[in-house]
Structures are given as C-alpha cells and as structure tokens.
Structure 1
Amino acid sequence: MKSSDGIAIVGIALALALFTVLPDNVAAVNEFSQAHGFLMSFLKFAILGTAGEMVALRITTKKYIQPGFGVLPRALMWGVIGLLIHTAFTVYASGTPVFLKQAGFSVAPDDLVNGSFLVRLGVAFSISTLMNILFAPLFMLAHGVVSMHIEKTGGTLRGLFSPLPVSHLLDEIDWNMLWGFVFRKTIPFFWIPAHTVTFMLPPELRVLFAAALGVVLGVILAFASLKSVPATT
C-alpha cells in the first residue's frame, strides 16, 4: 500500500468522524446540522461521493487524480446529488407508510421510529424498495450522463456548465453495464438491502450513511469495470 492510500483512508475516516463524532459532541454543530439539513447533505455527498470516485479511479488507473477527472466539478455534482437524495429520503420515508396503509397494511406514520423491530424492518424495506425501483434508475442514468459530460469537457467548472448534449451522451452509455450490472444487480442485491439498513438508522444519520455507501459503490463499480476488460496475454 502506497503512502497516498494511507492518506486517503485517513481522509475518509476523518470526513466520517467530522459528520458523526463532532455533531454529537459539539452542541452548536449539532444544532446547525439539524437546522440546515440540505446544506449538510450537500457537503456530505460532495466530500464522500467525490472520494468514492477517486478510490474507483485509483483501482482502475492506479491514480487518485488524472487530467480531465475534474475534482471540483464532481464535488459540485455530488453535492447536488446530496440535495436530491435528501429530498428523496424525505418524500419516500413520509409517503411509503401512507401507501402501505392504503394498500391494506396496518401501518402507523411513526412505525419507522416507534414500531417493533420487525415492523420497522418491514417499513424500512418497503421504503428502500419503492425508492430504488421508482427513483434510483432515472437518478443513476442522470448521474452517468453528467459524469460523462464532465470527462468530455476536460473536468473544468466551465465545461460543467456548458450545454449538455444529452442525446449524444445517451448514445455513448454502456447500456449492457448500466442495465446488466447497475440496475439488475446493484439495485436488488446492494442498494435495496443497504438502504433498508439506512432507514433503520436515526434520521440524522441516514444521509451520512447513504453518502458513505457512495464510496463502497465506487469500489464495486471499479471492480466491475476491471472485470469487463478483456484479459491480455
């Protein structure tokens, strides 16, 4: 392991501690986090999501940074993703119990917090399933398009805000990877179970845990891309 790998591990650990240990021990930080949920979501995803992509780059190219990668554009992209995730968590966590009740299940609005373990598990699984079926595919597709746009415009902030040629980028997407691996495998076998755990956590930890999962998924996707490259002799 290179020294840069050690620095990356320490950096990610410190980022996680910054969003967990500090708010729990500093009242002012805790109050700020609770009062500015969208801003904190932006920061959590901007830091941890970008870190996940850098780890994935390290696995595939042996480098954490390379020309055109675009750390700042990607951090901004992940920050916006954090806002969308915060919104989705709020909508699906609130709306799914209502849907379950209308579907004939005996579910109370506060069962996710005050119900028995099995009830909480069932509600959390339902929230995760609906969110990952109805929201995640389009969200993942949009992330892929923007990520490709960043690469093609040289990883610059100016390039990020240039016109987005959506139709051309959609033509260049590896649909076999997106459908065959990301949709068919990571959603049912990774994201639904992982987000079930997420919604079992206290509300203040859910977005942070989701952001940390971005690092894990970056590693998974990196190994998948390596596996898809034909072996050379």
Structure 2
Amino acid sequence: MKRSDFQFLAVILALFLPFVFSKDLYDFYCLANADHGILLSFIKFAVLATLGESLGVRIRQGVYNYRGFGLLPRAIVWGLLGIAIKIAFIIFSQGAGAVLAYFDVMKNDSFAYKLGLAFTASAFMNIIFAPVMMMVHKITDTHIVQQGGTVKGLFSPIDVPVILKKVDWQMMWGFVFKKTIPFFWIPAHTITFLLPATFQVLFAAVLGIVLGVILAFAANKSK
C-alpha cells in the first residue's frame, strides 16, 4: 500500500467514526437530516460518491487524483445528482405504496410487505430514473475532462451530441445498464429502502464508493 492509500483510509474513518462514538454528533446528524435533507443529500453525495470515483481512478491508474481529473467539478455534479436522487427516493418510495394498494396488497407491518414495498420502489426507480441519471453523469464527466477539470469549464456550454457520439456504448449498455442495474442497483436499493429514511440517502451515497470499485475493475477487464 502507498502512503496515499493510508491517507484515503484515514479520510474514510474520519468521516464515519465520529458519528459512531459520539451520540451528540449522531443526534445532530439525525436532526440536520430531518430539517435539511436536500442540503445533506448534496453534501453526502459530493463527498462520498466523489471518493468512490477517486478510488476507481486509484484502481485503474494508481493515483487518486491527477491534473485534469476535476475533483471539485465532479463533487459539484455529484452533489446536484444527490439532490435529484433524494427527490427520486421520495417519489418512488411513496409511489410504490400506491402501486401495491392498486393491486389490493394491503399495507401492514409484516416483513414481506416491507420487502415488496422496497423492491417495487427500487425496481421502478432503477428502471425509470437510473438510466437517465447515469447518462447525465457520463455526459458531465466527459465534459469535465474535455474542459481540463476546471470549475469554470464545468459551467461552460456542454456539446451533448458530440459527447454522445464518443460514448462507449458497449460498456454503457452492455455493462452499466444491462448488468449493474439488475444485479447491483436493484438489490442494493431494495436494501436501501428497507432502512430508516434517515439513512437511506447516506447508504445510497456509500454505494457510490462500491460502484466506483466495480466500474474500475470492469474498465480494466475490458482493456
């Protein structure tokens, strides 16, 4: 392991351990999450999902960051996507209950009902919302690299048609859509929707770290 690996691990521990050992911090998080859920979603995804991308770069290239990678612009994009994901969680979690009620599945406290509710919310969110979000993320990632990884470049006009022509659709469709959605995201978000609402977006952001590792290994395998 390199020194940077220990530094990365230290950052991860510093982010989580204080909330484990301090009840005051944990209570503060729960209160802030309840009162400012959108802002907390931005922060959680900006930090954790960006760390996942950095970890992916470490696996592929041996470093966590490099000139032109655009760590800050990526964090901004992930933060905005985090807000969209928070809203999607609200829409699909509440909509799942309406779907089950439509099919005369009566609401109850059984685990079977909760599992069905979580799976329904996860399946439809990942079938309807996830592909669009993934494409937006892919487009913005490409745009950030094209603009040299600068914050100013992030807010310059995005040439979407040109970027779409350069997308590796074998990877995007053949792996990201066809494999990660049914075999990773739907099961993972089923677990997410089973969690208390306070921890759902946090767990989803942590999953971004896991996905960064999966995509990194997939990219290496495709070479």
Q: Answer yes or no: same fold by TM over 0.5.
A: yes
1:194 and 1:44 mapped to 2: Cα distance? 18
Q: Which residue of 2 aligns with 1:167?
A: 161
1:129 and 1:8 mapped to 2: Cα distance? 33
Q: Which residue of 1 aligns with 2:137?
A: 143
1:36 and 1:23 mapped to 2: Cα distance? 21
Q: Which residue of 1 aligns with 2:202?
A: 208
Q: Which residue of 2 aligns with 1:61?
A: 61
Structure 2 unaligned regions, length at least 5: none
Q: Which residue of 2 aligns with 1:70?
A: 70
Spell out, residue by residue over 1:48-100, the C-alpha distance to the aligned partner (whole angstroms, 9 max, x if none).
01100000000111011111001110110010011011000000001111022
Q: Which residue of 1 aligns with 2:80?
A: 80
2:175 and 2:188 mapped to 1: Cα distance? 17
Amino acid at match of 1:148: T
Number of aligned residue pairs: give it: 222
SS at match of 2:47: helix
Spell out, residue by residue over 1:77-129, the C-alpha distance to the aligned partner (whole angstroms, 9 max, x if none).
01001101100000000111102211x13133xx5xxx211211111011100
1:101 and 1:141 mapped to 2: Cα distance? 32
Residue 127, structure 1, aligned to residue 121, structure 2: yes
1:183 CA displacement: 0.5
1:79 and 1:107 mapped to 2: Cα distance? 37
Q: What is the aligned counterpart of 1:192 among 156, 162, 186?
A: 186
Structure 1 residue runs of 4+, over 4 Å off? none
Q: Which residue of 2 aligns with 1:219?
A: 213
Structure 1 residues 126 and 226 mapped into 2: Cα distance closer, same or farther (>3 Å)? Answer: same
1:25 CA displacement: 3.0
TM-score by length of 1: 0.91
Structure 1 unaligned regions, length at least 5: none
Residue 177, structure 1, aligned to residue 171, structure 2: yes
